[in-house]
C-alpha cells in the first residue's frame, strides 16, 4: 500500500545538512547557501513521449534521465545543484517495482552530482508512467548565465558532440554541471543554453533572446558517432550533419563568449572533466541563422528540432 511504499522510499534517502526539515513532512525546509541566489527548474517526462519502457529502458534509466535533464538546465545557468523534489504518477499495475527502480536511478545520479533529494509525491492511476522533478540550484548574485546576453563579435562554443541521441544517449544523459561551474570560475560567458531540442533550434532561441544573429560553420559542427550510425540506417534519408543540427536530446552546453576566451576554452577544455569544447561560429548583428560552407558561402538555415505540438 502507499504508506508502506512511501516509507520504504524515504528510508533510502540519505540525510543531508542542507535540509532543516527532511523528506517525510508536509514539505521540506531547505537551508539556502549564504550569499547565493536560488535557481529553480522543472521538467516532466512521459512514457511514450520521452521514453518507452522495454528491455532497453528500465526504470533506473528513466529516473536517471528525469533528474539529469533538470541538472542540464541548472548547468545552462551555471548553477550548483542543491536539492530536488520528485512527483510521479505510477501505473497501478507494476507501480511498486517501477517506483523503486526510478528511485535507484535518481539516487545514483544525485550522489554523483552532490544533490539532495528533498521529498516529493506519489500517485497511482490507470495511465502510463509520468515523472516530474523540480531541481533547485544556487549561484552567486549576478552570476547566473542567461540566454539574452550574446553580443556581436562573440564566438559560439558547444560542448561534446551532437546527433543520434535516440540510439541511447537520450536516456544516459550526462549533465554538464561540473563543466559549467569550472567555466564560470575561469571564463566570461555572455549567454548560454543547453541543447535539449536540437542544436539549430536552441541556437535560434539563444539568438532571439539576445536580439542577435548567428553564423555557424557547418564543417566545425561536432558530429557524434551516433549521428553517423543513424544516417546509415536504411531509409533514414538524413545526413550526419542533419542529425547533429536537429535531433536534440544531446544536453550539451551552447555558449556565447568573447572571442579570445572562447578560443582559450576550446584549447584548455581537456582540464574540464575531459569534455571537448568546439567553436562552431560567431554572433553577428541581425536576426536568424546563417550556415557557412567550406568555400565561405552562406545561406539561411531554418532552425529544426523537437517541439511539442498543441491543437485547439
Domain locations in the chain?
2-139, 155-300
Fold of 155-300: Phosphoribosyl-aminoimidazole Synthetase; Chain A, domain 2 (3.90.650)
Angstrom distance (rounded) from CA 207 to CA 231: 28
pLDDT at 1: 61
With contact defined as beta carbons under 8 Å apart, do 82 and 31 qualify?
A: no
Beta carbons within 10 angstroms of residue 59's beta carbon = 23
Q: What is the average pLDDT across 99-120?
A: 96
pLDDT band at 119 (very low <50, low <70, confident <90, very high): very high
- Domain 2-139 in CATH: superfamily? PurM-like, N-terminal domain (3.30.1330.10)
pTM value? 0.95
Residue 270: band (very low, low, confident or very high) from pLDDT cuts 50, 70, 90: low
CA dihedral of 39, 81, 33, 19, whole degrees rounded to 10: 110
> Around Cβ 126, how many Cβ atoms within 10 Å?
7
Q: Kindly give the residue spans of alpha helices, DSSP state H, lying in the chain.
A: 2-10, 59-75, 95-113, 177-186, 199-210, 225-231, 240-246, 259-268
Q: What is the per-residue pLDDT for 271?
A: 65
Sheet holding 130-139, edge to edge: 37-46, 130-139, 80-91, 116-125
Average pLDDT of the chain to the nearest whole number: 94
55 or 49, which is more confident: 49
Residue 164: Cβ-neighbour burial (10 angstroms; 0-12, 13-18, 19+): buried
CB 164 within 8 A of CB 225: yes
Query: What DSSP string describes 15-52?
Result: P-TTEEE-BTBSS-EE-PPTT-EEEEEEEEEEBTTTB-
Mean pLDDT for 46-64 is: 91
Which residues are CB-contacts of 311 (< 8 A; sequence separation ≥ 6)?
none
Q: How many CA atoms lie within 13 A of 201 on its CB side?
A: 19
Residues ≥6 apart with Cβ < 8 Å to 18: 30, 31, 82, 83, 116
Name residues whose C-beta falls within 8 Å of residue 3's C-beta, 6 or more positions apart in sequence: none
Contact 225, 169 (CB under 8 A): no
The per-residue pLDDT for range 162-209, each reduced to its tens digit, is 999 999 999 999 999 999 999 999 999 999 999 999 999 999 999 999
Average pLDDT rounded to a whole number, residues 46-52? 92
Which pLDDT belongs to residue 212? 98
Amino acid at each position: 500500500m502507499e504508506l508502506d511504499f512511501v516509507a520504504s522510499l524515504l528510508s533510502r534517502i540519505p540525510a543531508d545538512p542542507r535540509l532543516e526539515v527532511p523528506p517525510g513532512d508536509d514539505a521540506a525546509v531547505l537551508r539556502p547557501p549564504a550569499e547565493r541566489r536560488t535557481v529553480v527548474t522543472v521538467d516532466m517526462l512521459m512514457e511514450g513521449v520521452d521514453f518507452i519502457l522495454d528491455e532497453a529502458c528500465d526504470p533506473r534509466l528513466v529516473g536517471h534521465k528525469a533528474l539529469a535533464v533538470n541538472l542540464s538546465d541548472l548547468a545552462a545557468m551555471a548553477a550548483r545543484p542543491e536539492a530536488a523534489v520528485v512527483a510521479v504518477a505510477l501505473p497501478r499495475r507494476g507501480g511498486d517495482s517501477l517506483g523503486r527502480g526510478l528511485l535507484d536511478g535518481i539516487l545514483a545520479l544525485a550522489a554523483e552530482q552532490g544533490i539532495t533529494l528533498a521529498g516529493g509525491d506519489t500517485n497511482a492511476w490507470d495511465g502510463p508512467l509520468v515523472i516530474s522533478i523540480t531541481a533547485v540550484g544556487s549561484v552567486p548574485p549576478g552570476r547566473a548565465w542567461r540566454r539574452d546576453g550574446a553580443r556581436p563579435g562573440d564566438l559560439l562554443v558547444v560542448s561534446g558532440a551532437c546527433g543520434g541521441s535516440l540510439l541511447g544517449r537520450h536516456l544516459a544523459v550526462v549533465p554538464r554541471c561540473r563543466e559549467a561551474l569550472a567555466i564560470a570560475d575561469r571564463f566570461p560567458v555572455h549567454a548560454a543554453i543547453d541543447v535539449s531540442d536540437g542544436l539549430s533550434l536552441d541556437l535560434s532561441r539563444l539568438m532571439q533572446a539576445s536580439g542577435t544573429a548567428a553564423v555557424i560553420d557547418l564543417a566545425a559542427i561536432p558530429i557524434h558517432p551516433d549521428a553517423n550510425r543513424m544516417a546509415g540506417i536504411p531509409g533514414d534519408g538524413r545526413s550526419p550533419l542533419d542529425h547533429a543540427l536537429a535531433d536534440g536530446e544531446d544536453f550539451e552546453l551552447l555558449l556565447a563568449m568573447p572571442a579570445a576566451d572562447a578560443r582559450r576554452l576550446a584549447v584548455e577544455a581537456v582540464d574540464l572533466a575531459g569534455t571537448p569544447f568546439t567553436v562552431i561560429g560567431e554572433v553577428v548583428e541581425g536576426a536568424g541563422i546563417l550556415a557557412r560552407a567550406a568555400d565561405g558561402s552562406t545561406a539561411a538555415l531554418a532552425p529544426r528540432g523537437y517541439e511539442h505540438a498543441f491543437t485547439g
